[in-house]
């Protein structure tokens, strides 16, 4: 939902970043306001997953230029856990398996860490159990998932639902969902999208990183950005996603190059 | 984040200090004279001197084992002090204990004084080879339990010591057991008579104090028919640059229906991050389930020592006897551990269970080595083994060497093994949910070690959890 005057949650300016010596992001600017849903699309290797991970503080990337403000203050100086505690959430493309740690323990530790940082009440295992069971329904997960080790032996769809379950528990201000739709069959996609939609509100924002338009049939974006070669080369509304589906990405690149040549 | 893991694992050893107490020290080196000196200092009977001399003569014919997966420079056995004792004093109460010594214990957090009482723990404190103070002895004596230093036991109950000493680990058993049998200076003796369940956990804290004094502790625990005891051993040592040899022998004997539970939390100095210094821990621990339906359970949390070479074992001689081994072995920096167990099934319907958790960080190398042996006459023997390894970072190593020898067709032997790794990905996953590296590692490690920690007495489990956290600070990142 686009509202004039809604507070700016994320302000990325001319961001350049590299992994090792290899530049990945080559000047990305993006503004996300409360209530908005953004989709970042683009071919493989365009830098869209890098952007999501970098914003969450992944240690593999180093910022070489530009700035990122989150709710008006510098984001890049914060540790990844401090970013999460401040309300940033990354839904992983490939959720990580944690051997020896039950999902219930992990979820409660995450929940309480974020609650503590917000000065809100931490929950003991029993109280937490009530809360998490309520949230499980949102992503149509069986309570037996709580007893299994984090993501260990989960199917692709189960892992993604587990990500949305975490999002539901942590109630992020800004959720970055990295290819949450990849590897999902149509039923799982519907469940995951339903979960995301129920978490979207006027005070938070969602940035979807995706390859395909099909997720956008279920989650309607306010903005669609096309990323290529480490830059956002076009921004439009949901119609752009449909056009990309029909025509591919090449024409956007051609248009961008022509505009740059003209300038 | 690598730097974070590094810092986490690289905390300096917190118990690194030397207590300046005047020691009564034997000259360096090993000879029959040294052994006669030790025996004389301790006013031992002739049979014990003979036991020592025979062990020594046998030791001279043996050579150091080379099969463990550990590497260290040759040990100069002539450069070791084999006897160091605090000046002998008659102590009537804890108040008379050297205040310096008490401060040492306080630094180590040894629960003596009221703390011991509150915790319900009797502490037989070994300080540089000679027992300094024994608490609760009276209370235990009321139910007929003997819990004292082995030197005291030699004087007061020579018939018991003579009957059982060397009955589980014979002097010629292996190189270090032979050395220990020749030169052991002190240790603990515990005797639980028929039908008595020990009313409290028994605990001994060891501390190596005089620089270069090899420690050769000897522990003997005997549980008669229907008796039960839970024994706790906790260790720590001050920081030194030269390696210290520790070659203890622990023998457990369980008669019919007896139950012995032996728990260890070991945190000896492991050397610095380059592997300089640290304890060599070459220990022989073995329990004999001599009687029918007896049970011996070993639980160990091994976090210290430069090199650990240790296989707490069970010989299941009595029919229906049970042997258990629960182990967490953590290595960091340049530490090397080759540890595991042996379950020797000789009686019918004997059962054993092995749960081993190895954690390797830094440049360390951690090996599990275990033998399950089913004798030809052991009908319906069963064993279950589970060996899990966890790697932290990418410069450490983990190995599993299971040996299974079955000579009876009715045996059921199961072995499971897994390897997992904590790396940047796991830590970033935790971080992206608001959880810092230290908490993340602690949660992963505790989850990994849960099956073993459950076996520890409560207060030990808490200590063990903290210890692992401390040991791994800075190792993940």
Q: Which of residues 75-94 of A touch B (CB under 8 A)?
A: 79-81, 83-85, 89-90, 92
Q: Which domain holds residue B67?
A: 3-310
Residue B96, pLDDT score: 56
Cβ–Cβ of B424/A105 closer than 8 Å?
A: no
- Name residue B126's beta-bridge partners: B131, B206
Report the Cα B20 to chain-centroid distance in Å: 26
Nearest chain B residue to A169, by CA: B433
Residue B85, pLDDT score: 64
What CATH number did the domain enclosing A112 receive? 3.40.50.300
Rounded to an integer, the average pLDDT of A198-205 is 93
Q: Could you report the per-residue pLDDT of B213-235, keeping only the tens digit for each?
A: 457 889 999 999 999 999 988 75
User: Which two tokens mark A173?
Assistant: 């201000």
Whether residue B358 is contained in a domain is answered as no
User: Which two tokens mark B105?
Assistant: 């214990």
Chain B hits for A96, CB-CB cut-off 8 Å, are: 425-426, 428-429
Residue B91 has pLDDT above 70, yes or no: no
Whether residue A1 is contained in a domain is answered as no
Confidence of residue B414 (pLDDT cuts 50, 70, 90): very high
Q: Are B100 and B21 in contact (CB under 8 A)?
A: yes
Whether residue A160 is contained in a domain is answered as yes
Whether residue B204 is contained in a domain is answered as yes
Longest Cα–Cα distance in chain B: 69
Residue B16 has pLDDT above 60, yes or no: no
Q: Which of residues 224-283 of B touch A (CB under 8 A)?
A: none
Q: Are A16 and A219 in contact (CB under 8 A)?
A: no
Residue A36, pLDDT score: 97
**C-alpha–C-alpha distance, residues B11 and B369, integer Å:** 29
Chain B hits for A83, CB-CB cut-off 8 Å, are: 432
B143 touches chain A (CB under 8 A): no
H or E stretch at A105: helix A103-117
H or E stretch at B219: strand B218-223
Confidence of residue B474 (pLDDT cuts 50, 70, 90): low
More confident residue, B354 or B451: B354
Residue B20 has pLDDT above 60, yes or no: no
Q: Are B203 and B167 in contact (CB under 8 A)?
A: no
Confidence of residue A188 (pLDDT cuts 50, 70, 90): confident
Residue B246, pLDDT score: 86
In A20-126, where do the E strands start and end?
Answer: 22-33, 37-41, 61-70, 73-74, 88-91
Min Cα–Cα distance to chain B from A236, Å: 30
ipTM: 0.95
Percent of chain A with pLDDT over 90: 85
Instruction: Specify the number of domains making up chain B.
Output: 1
Q: Could you report the per-residue pLDDT of B328-361, keeping only the tens digit for each?
A: 999 988 889 999 999 999 999 999 999 999 999 8
Residue B238, pLDDT score: 52
More confident residue, B269 or A179: A179
Q: Could you report the per-residue pLDDT of A6-58, keeping only the tens digit for each?
A: 999 999 999 999 998 999 999 999 999 999 999 999 998 999 999 999 999 99
**C-alpha–C-alpha distance, residues B254 and B190, integer Å:** 12
Residue B118 has pLDDT above 50, yes or no: no
- Name residue B235's beta-bridge partners: B206, B266
Cβ–Cβ of B429/A95 closer than 8 Å?
A: yes
B84 touches chain A (CB under 8 A): no
Residue B114 has pLDDT above 90, yes or no: no
Residue A23, pLDDT score: 95
Q: Could you report the per-residue pLDDT of B231-273, keeping only the tens digit for each?
A: 988 755 455 545 578 899 999 999 999 999 999 888 777 777 7
DSSP state of A201: -
Q: Are B299 and B264 in contact (CB under 8 A)?
A: yes
B447 touches chain A (CB under 8 A): yes
Whether residue B467 is contained in a domain is answered as no
User: Which two tokens mark B227?
Assistant: 């008796």
Chain A hits for B7, CB-CB cut-off 8 Å, are: none
What CA–CA distances, in Å, run from B72 to B69, B340, B364, B429? 10, 20, 13, 39
Question: Which residues, in sequence order, are CB contacts of B95 under 8 Å at separation 6+?
Answer: none
| Nearest-CB residue to A110 (from B433, B445, B448) | B433
Chain A hits for B1, CB-CB cut-off 8 Å, are: 59
Q: Could you report the per-residue pLDDT of B361-398, keeping only the tens digit for each?
A: 888 999 999 999 999 999 999 999 999 999 988 889 99
Q: In terms of Cα–Cα distance, which of B116, B115, B122 is closest to B145?
A: B122
Lowest mean pLDDT among A41-45, A134-138, A170-174, B457-461: B457-461
Secondary structure (3-state) at A125:
helix
**Vertex B392: Cα angle to A84 and A109 (nearest 5):** 30
Q: In terms of Cα–Cα distance, which of B325, B330, B167 is closest to B255?
A: B167
Q: Could you report the per-residue pLDDT of A75-102, keeping only the tens digit for each?
A: 999 999 999 999 999 999 999 999 889 9
Q: Which residues of A198-226 are buried (b: 16+ CB within 10 A; e: fewer)?
A: ebbeeebbbbbbbeebebbebbebbbbbb
Q: Which domain holds residue A58?
A: 8-262
Rounded to an integer, the average pLDDT of B8-17 is 53
Whether residue A213 is contained in a domain is answered as yes
Q: Are A160 and A187 in contact (CB under 8 A)?
A: no
Whether residue A2 is contained in a domain is answered as no
Whether residue A3 is contained in a domain is answered as no
For chain B, the residue count is 477
Q: In terms of Cα–Cα distance, which of B121, B131, B127, B223 is closest to B168?
A: B223
Whether residue B427 is contained in a domain is answered as no
Whether residue B475 is contained in a domain is answered as no
Whether residue B189 is contained in a domain is answered as yes
Whether residue B355 is contained in a domain is answered as no
Question: Which residues, in sequence order, are CB contacts of B141 under 8 Å at separation 6+?
Answer: none
Residue B446, pLDDT score: 86
Instruction: Specify the number of domains making up chain A.
Output: 1
Whether residue B91 is contained in a domain is answered as yes
Report the Cα B106 to chain-centroid distance in Å: 22
Residue B469, pLDDT score: 73
**C-alpha–C-alpha distance, residues A25 and B276, integer Å:** 45
Residue B42 has pLDDT above 70, yes or no: yes
Residue B78 has pLDDT above 60, yes or no: yes
Give phi and psi for A44, each to the nearest 5.
Answer: -55, 140
Cβ–Cβ of B443/A90 closer than 8 Å?
A: no
More confident residue, B376 or B475: B376
Rounded to an integer, the average pLDDT of B284-298 is 98
Lowest mean pLDDT among B110-119, B194-203, B418-427, B458-467: B110-119
Rounded to an integer, the average pLDDT of B417-431 is 90
Select the residue from B433, B454, B465 to test the A interface by mutation, using most A Cβ atoms within 10 A.
B433
* Residue whose structure tokens are 């028994």: B202
Q: Are B230 and B263 in contact (CB under 8 A)?
A: yes
B428 touches chain A (CB under 8 A): yes
Whether residue A78 is contained in a domain is answered as yes
**C-alpha–C-alpha distance, residues B363 and B357, integer Å:** 18
**C-alpha–C-alpha distance, residues B349 and B36, integer Å:** 46
Q: Could you report the per-residue pLDDT of A46-71, keeping only the tens digit for each?
A: 999 999 999 999 999 999 999 999 99
Q: Are B220 and B204 in contact (CB under 8 A)?
A: no
Min Cα–Cα distance to chain A from B438, Å: 11
A-B interface: how many C-beta pairs under 8 angstroms?
84
Residue B126 has pLDDT above 50, yes or no: no
Indicate the average pLDDT of chain A.
94
Residue B461, pLDDT score: 75
């Amino acid at each position: 939902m686009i509202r004039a005057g809604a507070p700016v949650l994320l302000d990325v300016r001319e961001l350049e970043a590299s992994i090792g010596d290899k530049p990945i992001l080559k000047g990305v600017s993006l503004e996300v306001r409360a209530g908005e849903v953004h989709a970042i699309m683009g071919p493989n290797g365009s830098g869209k997953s890098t952007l999501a991970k970098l914003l969450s503080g992944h240690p593999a990337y180093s910022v070489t230029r530009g700035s990122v403000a989150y709710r008006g203050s510098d984001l890049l100086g914060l540790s990844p856990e401090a970013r999460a505690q401040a309300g940033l959430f990354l839904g992983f493309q490939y959720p990580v398996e944690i051997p020896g740690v039950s999902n219930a323990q992990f979820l409660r530790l995450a929940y309480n860490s974020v609650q503590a940082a917000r000065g809100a009440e931490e929950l003991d295992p029993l109280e937490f159990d009530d809360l998490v069971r309520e949230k499980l329904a949102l992503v149509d997960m069986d309570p037996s998932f709580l007893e299994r080790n984090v993501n260990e032996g989960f199917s692709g769809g189960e892992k993604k639902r587990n990500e949305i379950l975490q999002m539901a528990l942590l109630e992020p201000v800004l959720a970055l969902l990295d290819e949450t739709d990849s590897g999902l069959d149509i039923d799982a996609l519907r469940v995951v999208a339903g979960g995301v939609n129920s978490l979207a509100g006027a005070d938070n924002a969602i940035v979807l990183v995706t390859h395909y338009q099909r997720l956008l049939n279920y989650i309607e974006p306010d903005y669609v950005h096309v990323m290529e070669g480490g830059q956002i080369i076009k921004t439009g509304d949901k119609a752009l996603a449909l056009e990309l589906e029909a025509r591919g990405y090449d024409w956007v690149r051609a248009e961008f190059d022509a505009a740059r040549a003209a300038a | 984040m690598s730097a974070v893991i590094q810092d986490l694992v690289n905390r300096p050893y917190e118990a690194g200090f030397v207590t300046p107490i005047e020691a009564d020290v034997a000259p360096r080196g090993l000879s029959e004279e040294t052994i006669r000196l030790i025996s004389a200092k301790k006013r031992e009977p002739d049979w014990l001197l003979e036991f020592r001399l025979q062990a020594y003569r046998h030791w001279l014919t043996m050579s150091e084992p080379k099969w463990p997966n550990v590497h260290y420079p040759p040990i100069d056995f002539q450069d070791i002090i084999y006897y160091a004792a605090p000046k002998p004093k008659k102590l009537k109460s804890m108040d008379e204990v050297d205040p310096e010594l008490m401060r040492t214990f306080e630094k180590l957090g040894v629960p003596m004084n009221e703390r011991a009482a509150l915790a319900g723990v009797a502490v037989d404190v070994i300080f540089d080879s000679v027992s300094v103070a024994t608490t609760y002895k009276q209370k235990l004596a009321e139910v007929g339990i003997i819990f004292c230093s082995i030197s005291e036991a030699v004087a007061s109950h020579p018939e018991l010591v003579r009957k059982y000493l060397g009955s589980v680990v014979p002097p010629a058993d292996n190189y270090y057991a032979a050395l220990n049998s020749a030169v052991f200076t002190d240790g603990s003796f515990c005797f639980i008579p028929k039908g008595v369940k020990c009313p409290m956990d028994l605990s001994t804290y060891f501390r190596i104090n005089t620089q270069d004094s090899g420690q050769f502790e000897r522990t003997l625990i005997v549980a008669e028919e229907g008796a039960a005891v839970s024994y706790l051993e906790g260790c720590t040592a001050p920081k030194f640059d030269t390696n210290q040899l520790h070659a203890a022998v622990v023998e457990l004997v369980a008669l019919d229906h007896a139950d012995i539970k032996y728990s260890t939390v070991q945190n000896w100095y492991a050397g610095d991050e380059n592997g300089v210094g640290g304890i060599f821990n070459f220990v022989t621990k073995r329990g004999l389930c001599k009687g029918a339906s007896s049970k011996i359970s070993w639980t160990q949390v091994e976090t210290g020592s430069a090199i650990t070479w240790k296989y707490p074992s069970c010989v299941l001689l009595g029919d229906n006897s049970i042997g258990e081994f629960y182990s967490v072995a953590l290595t960091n920096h340049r530490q090397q551990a080759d540890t595991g167990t042996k379950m020797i099934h000789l009686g019918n319907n004997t059962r054993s269970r092995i749960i081993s958790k190895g954690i390797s960080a830094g440049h360390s190398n951690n090996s599990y080595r275990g033998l399950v042996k089913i004798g030809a006459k052991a009908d319906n023997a069963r064993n279950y083994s589970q060996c899990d390894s966890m790697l932290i970072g990418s410069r450490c190593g983990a190995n599993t060497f299971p040996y299974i020898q079955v000579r009876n067709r009715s045996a059921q032997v199961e072995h499971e093994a897994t390897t997992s790794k904590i790396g940047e990905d796991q830590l970033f996953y935790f971080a992206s949910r608001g959880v810092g590296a230290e908490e993340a590692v602690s949660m992963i490690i505790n989850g990994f070690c849960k099956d073993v920690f459950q076996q520890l007495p409560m207060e030990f489990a808490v200590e063990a959890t903290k210890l692992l956290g401390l040991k791994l600070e800075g190792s993940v990142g």
